[in-house]
Each structure stands twice: as C-alpha cells, then as structure tokens.
Amino acid sequence: MDLNADLGEGFGIWRLGDDDALLDLVTSANVACGFHGGDPSTMRRVCAAAAERGVAVGAQVGYRDLAGFGRRRIEYAFTELRDEVTYQLGALDAFCRLFRTRVRYLKPHGALYHAAAVEEAQAAALVAAVSGYDDQLPILCAPGTKLAQLAVGAGLRVVAEGFADRGYLPNGALVPRTALGALVTDPEEVAARAVRMATEHTVVAIDGNVIPCPVGSICLHGDTPGAVASAALTRAALLDAGVTPKPFV
C-alpha cells in the first residue's frame, strides 16, 4: 500500500509541516508546484530530499491561490486551467530532473480536487493536461469521481486515494473542512483507519456506518496536527498488519 503526503507547501520564509520527517515515513510525496503553495526553492529542496530517500514525487497541482491555499473554488476556462496545470507539471519535473528522478503522477489539491470530482469541465482540463504532457502519468484521486471516469476514458491510469486523517460522509465524500468531524487527529485512530482501508477496503463514516473504500494509496496531510506522529504510527501499524508500504509507481 502506498502512503502519500502533501509536502512542500510552504513558501518564502514560511514553512508548513515537517517535510523531512514525513519523507522518512511516506512512499509518495505530493509536492506543491507554486500555485497553492510552494516556491522554486522549496520545490528543489523537497525533490532533492525525496530522491535521496527513494520516495516517488507527484505533482500536486492547484488553483493559482497562495492566499487561500488553493482551498477556494475558482471558475476557470478549460484552456486556462489545462495550461496552468501543464505549467505546474513542467516546473516540478524540471527540479526532479536535477536529481535524476521525474514526476511520477499527478494529484489535484484542495478546491480543485473537489471541483474535478464532480465538474466535467475542470476534470477534463486536468485530463487534457496529463494526456498532453505525458500520458503514462497516473492520476491520484478519489474513486468513482468525474475525474476518475474521464481519466479512464482517456486511457490514463487512475489510482484511487483514501484519507486516513479525514472524516467521511455516508455517501463516500469527505466531510467539508468547515464542518465538525472533518479532521481525524488522534494518531492511533488515523493508523487504525489506514489499516482498515488497506486490509478491508472500507472506512467508518461519521454516522458510524461502514462504507466501501477501495484504494491504492492512503493520504496523510502534512498540515494536519500531529501529522508526523500519525505517519509513524500508521507505517508501523501497516507493517504489523502484514502490509508493506511501497509506491504505486
């Protein structure tokens, strides 16, 4: 099972999360490409550290919204979003090449992640960007979404993602970050949820119901309180359950 984390989301003198500590624990790094977070020096630093550890680097692409951390929905024309995603892919890939690695997959961030899950135009722009840049790049996203459907239709590989540190609604969607139960911060609970996803392919929703959650990668957000402790306990718990953490690419 792949363990991924959102990394490199600080910029300038501002740091968010402990990138180095998380890179010692995860198998894939979703690296911010400078639009919702990150900057060139941060991208270079995280790519170097990931390459040194053998961690797969993925482009976490987002809206051009540093002030809102990419969590505010933006209305885009298809061509504009396609081109901004292509720009982010290319920028991160350049830094990867400095350290003899490459971008291995794409994952949308924040509001773009949620918009592309249900809106055909934004999902299609992401698919067009990946297809045009490198049609061998997998897309990491929630299963059953509009983005997943369009990507498969375009011949792209889709890797389904689950969130051990986020609450789920009974319909399988994530609890909005503004609502009670959006975050799971207890490291033991995060680890238990990850093991359940990896071994039973299910998750317990906020109403107590068990719902399907067939995933190939489990996300641990770098900006969630206690992220490093949760990642360490999750990795150990997966190994104890006979699940080997490894990249999906």
Residue pair 106/157 in contact by the 8 Å Cβ criterion: no
Q: How far apart are CA 93 and CA 131, in angstroms?
A: 15
Q: How far apart are CA 131 and CA 125, in angstroms?
A: 10
0.75 surpassed by pTM = yes
Please report the pLDDT score of residue 108 as a whole number: 98
Walk along the chain (249 residues) in steps of 10 and give the mean pLDDT of each run: 96 86 97 97 98 98 96 96 98 98 97 97 98 98 97 98 96 92 95 98 96 96 87 98 96
Q: How far apart are CA 9 and CA 37, in angstroms?
A: 4
Please report the pLDDT score of residue 17 as a whole number: 79
Show the beta-strand stretches assigned E in the chain: 2-7, 28-32, 56-61, 103-108, 139-141, 158-163, 202-204, 210-212, 217-220
Residue pair 198/1 in contact by the 8 Å Cβ criterion: yes
